[in-house]
């Protein structure tokens, strides 16, 4: 009897894990993508920890359709806890001239692609996925995370405040500063990496 | 009386543009931004660029996963 109970337990557990894997496998690209937008190194470790925690709370997933958001939420929780453990949630010192910076205006004034009729658009499409990631990595985590979650992964500001365990006003302020920082870093990165070379005469 | 009297300055309008697009500004601020935009072509350019940058960020969101990483993660699930 004991043997058959053991066997059925093993089978049940295997089936649960199979079901889990079937459910999460299609989500791995977006989960890994989110992890790579949040951290410079260790994206795979972050996904692994999220998967481990997700598997432990597999029973709390009410409907399969919610898998993507459920997994991303767990991943952000792991990221936040890790950030806290490493004491990285430090407010950054103000950056001079940041409030006055406008990428739109800088492009008009510098005119880096004089032959382009659609310069602002051309500037953006010069950035490949890895370029965008590099720009994100130049932002302190406190600004990067809200920006990524809001504008790249579609979380609402309220959800972000809850996930990052910060007051709504703090998240709104970080989004504001983060957007400015992101635009300025886009410009700095484009200049430093010669990103627009070869596009200037198109 | 000038039509532009009482308009918020460009710096204030630009500072509110993303929140305006997020529907995250107070109704009175929304009106101020819209009134400013109706008079200011430069800020309309800022608005269009903000929209384009948002769409660009959203489109950069999806990501491919290298086959070896995907296989490694699937193996991790099977072994955990």
How many Cβ pairs closer than 8 A exist between chain A and B?
96
A143: part of which helix (H) or strand (E)?
Answer: helix A141-151
The pLDDT, as a whole number, for residue A25 is 94
In a domain, A202, yes or no: no
Q: Please work out, in degrees rounded to the nearest 5, the angle formed at the alpha carbon of residue A84 by the alpha carbons of A83 and A87.
A: 90
Query: Are A68 and A16 members of one domain?
Result: yes
Which structural domain, as residue segments, surrounds residue A64?
2-85
Residue ranges of the domains in chain B?
A: 10-79
**pLDDT by 10s per residue, chain A, length 202:** 444 444 444 444 445 888 899 999 999 999 999 999 999 999 999 999 999 999 998 887 877 778 899 999 999 999 999 988 887 666 666 777 777 889 999 999 998 888 888 999 999 999 999 999 999 999 999 999 999 999 999 999 999 999 999 999 999 999 999 999 999 999 999 999 988 876 655 4
CATH for A127: 1.10.10.10
Q: What is the pLDDT of residues B5-55, one digit of tens each?
A: 778 999 899 989 999 999 889 999 999 999 999 999 999 999 999 999 999
In a domain, A164, yes or no: yes
The length of chain A is: 202
Nearest to B65 among A28, A120, A129 (CB): A28
Q: What is the CATH topology of the domain spanning B10-79?
A: Arc Repressor Mutant, subunit A (1.10.10)
In a domain, A114, yes or no: yes
d(CA A49, CA A121): 38
Task: Report CA-CA distances (Å) from B38 to A98, A188, B43.
Answer: 26, 32, 9
* Chain B residues whose beta carbon lies within 8 Å of the beta carbon of residue A24: 77
* Chain B residues whose beta carbon lies within 8 Å of the beta carbon of residue A53: none
């Amino acid at each position: 009897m004991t043997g058959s109970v053991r066997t059925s337990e093993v089978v049940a557990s295997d089936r649960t894990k199979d079901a889990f894997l079937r459910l999460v496998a299609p989500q791995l690209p977006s989960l890994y993508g989110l992890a790579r937008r949040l951290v410079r190194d260790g994206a795979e470790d972050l996904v692994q920890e999220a998967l481990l925690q997700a598997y432990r709370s597999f029973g709390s997933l009410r409907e399969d359709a919610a898998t993507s958001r459920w997994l991303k939420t767990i991943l952000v929780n792991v990221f936040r806890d890790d950030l806290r453990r490493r004491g990285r949630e430090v407010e950054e010192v103000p950056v001079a001239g940041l409030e006055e910076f406008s990428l739109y205006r800088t492009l008009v004034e510098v005119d880096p692609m004089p032959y382009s009729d659609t310069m602002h658009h051309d500037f953006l499409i010069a950035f490949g996925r890895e370029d965008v990631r590099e720009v994100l990595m130049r932002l302190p985590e406190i600004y990067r995370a809200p920006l990524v979650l809001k504008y790249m992964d579609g979380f609402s500001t309220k959800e972000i405040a809850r996930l990052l365990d910060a007051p709504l006003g703090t998240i709104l302020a970080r989004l504001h500063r983060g957007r400015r920082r992101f635009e300025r870093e886009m410009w700095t990165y484009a200049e430093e990496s010669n990103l627009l070379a070869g596009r200037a005469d198109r | 009386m000038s039509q532009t009297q009482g308009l918020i300055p460009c710096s204030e309008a630009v500072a509110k543009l993303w929140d305006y697009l997020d529907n995250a500004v107070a109704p009175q601020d929304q009106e101020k931004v819209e009134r400013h935009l109706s008079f200011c072509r430069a800020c309309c350019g800022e608005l269009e660029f903000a929209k384009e940058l948002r769409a660009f960020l959203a489109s950069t969101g999806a990501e491919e996963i290298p086959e070896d990483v995907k296989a490694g993660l699937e193996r991790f699930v099977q072994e955990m």
